[in-house]
Amino acid sequence: MRGEKYHRIRAVVRKEFRHIFRDRVSCMLLFLMPAFIMLIFGYALAFDVYRYDIQVCNPGHSVQAERLFARLDAHPKFRVTGRLERIDAIDGAFARGNNRAVVVYRDDGIDLFVDATSPTLSTNLTLMLSSVTGDFAADEFHLAKPSQDIRIRYLYNPTLKKEYMPIPGLVMLVFILVSSIVLGTSINKEKAQGSFRLLRLTRMSNLEIIAGKSAPYFLITLLHVAVVYLICLYFGVRVEGSLALFFALCTLYSVCCMSLGILIASWFDRPLDVLIICWIFLFIPNVFLSGFIFPIETMDPFMHAVARLLPGTAFIDAFRSIAFKGTGLGANLPAFGLLAGETVLAGFLSLIGFKRNIPR
């Protein structure tokens, strides 16, 4: 009797293992997702900033200033990425690249201009810069207390309002949920019910079917874009840049999310599969690697490069640049180009996926 029970249980175990290894999504959940989460939280993410990019300015061509700049560049947490010739070039320095601060050395003191669009990050950066510049002034003039003033000026968020930090990331999440996950699962419900195959029997092409399925979600997304703008106003976060450029960014990112959701739906058949894959490859990376929760500066160079390829990172960077700094298209062209390129690539791969899985 015990032997028969053992054989019956073993048969069920063998059947379950075959079921697991036959199902790609189950394999991802059991083997890939735990390793992916451990990689993100154990290796890529940290609260300690890896390195800050700063720029310096020495309008008086002071010798002491050069010694200060050399000390900053030698510090393990700072990297001097550029030198400004004029004070009026500071706004342009923050508009380009990932510059976090500008250190200006004058005869009457040291000015620290800090990007405050991320209040927590800017506070930590200010403490570190003040410590280094204060120690330098004390060492340079052999005084226990520096005779020079260290003036701190927070740009783009002078009152350090906490609302400036989460809003871009929350907008990003809304677009991923509506434009990627809901649209992708809707398409696969059509595939599971067989109605998508019936549409393919008509004279409509795959592109026309996808366009028809996506149009309602695109219109809903436009409504969300307007709501996003009103929410920003409610929290006292004004859009300093062009409203047309701001809405263009939100629309482009929404279309990019839609194309990624369609891409996943084209290569997987079950709605649950789409939901899980969107969660693993879209939601989790864009939440934790985009700078929404953990600053990108906390990542090592490899993960920093990976994070820069995510659509969420490009959206958050461009959102802060346009809404908080008031920059134009030229300063945000790399983000727009990345989002447009990923949209086109995902759309092309989606057409291949639909042709492969649902022949006419």
Under 8 Å between Cβ of 272 and 24: no
Using one digit for the tens of pLDDT, what is the confidence trace for 20-49?
677 666 676 667 766 666 666 665 565 567
Using one digit for the tens of pLDDT, what is the confidence trace for 274-298?
888 888 888 888 888 888 877 777 7
Using one digit for the tens of pLDDT, what is the confidence trace for 89-143?
888 888 776 788 999 988 778 889 998 888 878 888 888 888 888 888 777 765 4
Alpha-helix residue ranges (DSSP H) falling in 88-178: 90-95, 119-141, 166-175
Structural domains in the chain, CATH included, are 52-155 (3.40.1710.10), 162-357 (no CATH)
Strands 149-155 and 109-115, bridge-based pairing: parallel
- Burial class from Cβ neighbours inside 10 Å (0-12, 13-18, 19+) for residue 277 reads buried
Which one has a higher pLDDT value, 143 or 244?
244
Token representation of residue 253: 């990112």
Q: What number is the average pLDDT over the span 48-76?
A: 86
- Dmax over Cα atoms in the chain, in whole Å? 95
Q: How confident is the model at residue 272 (pLDDT cuts 50, 70, 90)?
A: confident
- Burial class from Cβ neighbours inside 10 Å (0-12, 13-18, 19+) for residue 128 reads middle
Q: What number is the average pLDDT over the span 3-7?
A: 69
Whether 339 has a pLDDT exceeding 70, the answer reads: yes
| Residue 289: per-residue pLDDT | 83
| Residue 3: per-residue pLDDT | 66
Q: What number is the average pLDDT over the span 246-260?
A: 91
Tell me the average pLDDT of the chain: 81
| Residue 39: per-residue pLDDT | 66
Q: How confident is the model at residue 216 (pLDDT cuts 50, 70, 90)?
A: confident
| Residue 287: per-residue pLDDT | 85
Q: How far is CA 336 from the centre of its chain?
A: 13
Token representation of residue 166: 């989460």
Alpha-helix residue ranges (DSSP H) falling in the chain: 2-22, 24-27, 33-39, 63-74, 90-95, 119-141, 166-175, 183-193, 195-200, 206-234, 243-267, 271-278, 284-288, 301-308, 311-323, 329-357
Using one digit for the tens of pLDDT, what is the confidence trace for 145-166?
444 578 889 988 888 877 777 7
5-14, 131-140, 329-338: which range is least confident on average? Answer: 5-14
Q: What number is the average pLDDT over the span 206-215?
A: 79
Q: How confident is the model at residue 234 (pLDDT cuts 50, 70, 90)?
A: confident
| Residue 288: per-residue pLDDT | 82
- Burial class from Cβ neighbours inside 10 Å (0-12, 13-18, 19+) for residue 267 reads middle
Q: What is the residue-wise DSSP string for 298-322?
A: GS-HHHHHHHHTSHHHHHHHHHHHH
pTM: 0.79
Whether 59 has a pLDDT exceeding 80, the answer reads: yes
